[in-house]
Amino acid sequence: MLFKPDLKPDLGETAKADRERGAPVARRGRRTIATVIVLLVLGGFGYVGWTSLQQRQSANRIRPDQAVPILAATAHIKDVPVYLDGVGAVRALNNVLVRPQVDGKLISINFVEGQDVKKGDVLGEIDPVIYKAQLDQAVAKKAQDEALLANQRLDLIRYQQLAAANAGSKQQYDTQRAVIAQQEALVDADQAAIDNARATLGYTKIIAPISGRTGLRQVDQGNIVHASDSTGVAIITQLQPIAVMFSLPQQQIVRVNAASARGALTVDVFGNDGTTVVDTGKLAGIDNQVDPTTGTLKLKAEFPNANLQLWPGQFVNVRLKVDTLAQAMVIPTSAVQRGPTGTFSYIIGDNDTVTAKPVTVTQQSETEAVIADGLSTSDRVVTTGFASLSDGAKVSVGKDEPAPVADIAPRKRNRGGREGRDGSEGGRGREGREAREARDGQPAKDWQSERRGKRGERRQGDGDQNGQTGLVQGNGQGSEQPGNTAKPQP
């Protein structure tokens, strides 16, 4: 018997296939929902930020009919110096390496490292025994030759007498005169040897050739030193006065030479902050050529350096005064603005309205600007508040008051409470209230009694409502009494 195959599909496999086809669709749907939620959140944040920005801009925006708050200054007349700025290095006027001039043992050192010494001070001493002996030998040799010379002079007198009496030859007399001349020359040579030996003996003392400050010691006591040593004993540097070498651009050569021809030029040196002048000196010299590698001209200035503010090898900022603008019109630098057509300033009119007026600036520094044309001494110029300013705008001129100074340390706290924000005594505590009343001229109150009286009133009211306890008030004080009635306090 033949059986027909069952053509009905397996329900389990069909459901499994349906689930497999539906899984990607579900995942895509969840991903779409998550994307929509993220976009909504980002849109919400963007809307909030845009709203706050618009509110801030509207708060900062000044209405056309509202006066713009500004600060102003008035142009004034003064003499303005003209400076050329440069960068330089401090150099010592004299720097000497002290070396021994003779060989020998260094038996003493008479200076301390970093000590100020004067010219002629003895810095050290070399053993002088050998050189003292050489001096004594030269002195003895001279004495010997002088004694021989004295005898030869006596012989010359005798020969002269014999020649006069025709008892001796004249030739012998002339020969004796030549011998005496030779002996005199020998005595002079002995004196020169003595001077040489005495000078050599003096070289055993190492003398400071200049006044200045000693550096670190190069050799210690007890060492054998030589005149050919390259290290020497010490280095002496002259600090007062001192020199500064600085450079200026080659474009300023003509200006510097013209100013130097009129007289001595003043040079200022700034400290580490770049604004404080630590010393003032004079221009000492100008180099005779321009450095071709940098295109600058070297100049040298001398400073007294009374307070030792300058030190050799230090880099400093320098300014050279080349001219003075007499009776120049000056305004604050912040009042000078720059536009498409050049520099201008806002002038405040009679009705507190501003007008943009072109000005010609001759010289400008960090604080002041010299105006050659465009302003008068009666003009008031705007120095701050340009962000909301325009030509013809109405302004409100404020006062340039100093900024409040913050407390360096916290103020003293009182026992009754903290100190008030306005710096008054007391603060919030009882002692603070009493101090403020005393300061204002009000009679001091018995705060403790008043506080106890108020507490008694509150407790009495509670006792009347509950009918359980009573509180009697007397003399500003209240005390609790057990029971259902209030008893007077004795």
Torsion over CA: 85, 86, 89, 90 (sign): negative
C-alpha closest to that of 73 among 447, 271, 331? 331
Distance in angstroms (rounded) separating the CA atoms of residues 371 and 355:
17
Q: What pLDDT does 243 receive?
A: 95
The pLDDT of residue 167 is 75
Cβ burial 271-306 (10 Å sphere, 16+ → b, else e): eeeeeeebbebebbeeeeeeeeeeebbbbbbbbebe
**What's the pLDDT at 333?**
92
User: Look-up: residue for tokens 């459901």?
Assistant: 15
Which bin fits 350, alpha (ψ -120 to 50), beta or left (φ > 0)? alpha
**Residue 240, phi then psi, degrees to nearest 5:** -135, 110
- Cβ(362)–Cβ(371) below 8 Å: yes
pLDDT of residue 343: 92
Residue type, 444: A
What is the mean pLDDT, run by run of 10 residues, along the chain of 490 residues?
46 53 64 86 85 66 69 91 93 93 94 93 94 94 93 87 80 87 93 95 94 92 92 93 94 92 93 89 93 93 93 94 91 90 89 89 89 88 87 82 53 49 46 50 49 54 44 38 40
Output the pLDDT for position 215: 92
Residues in contact with 351: Cβ distance below 8 Å, sequence separation at least 6, in sequence order:
394
> Tokens 């204002």 belong to which residue?
440
What pLDDT is recorded for position 68?
A: 85
- b/e per residue, 190-224, with b = 16+ CB within 10 A? beebbeebeebbebbebebebbbbbbebbbeeeee
pLDDT of residue 86: 92
Contact 102, 131 (CB under 8 A): yes
Q: Are 219 and 93 in contact (CB under 8 A)?
A: no
Dihedral of alpha carbons 255, 259, 260, 266, sign: negative
What's the confidence (pLDDT) of residue 486? 41
pLDDT value, residue 65 = 57
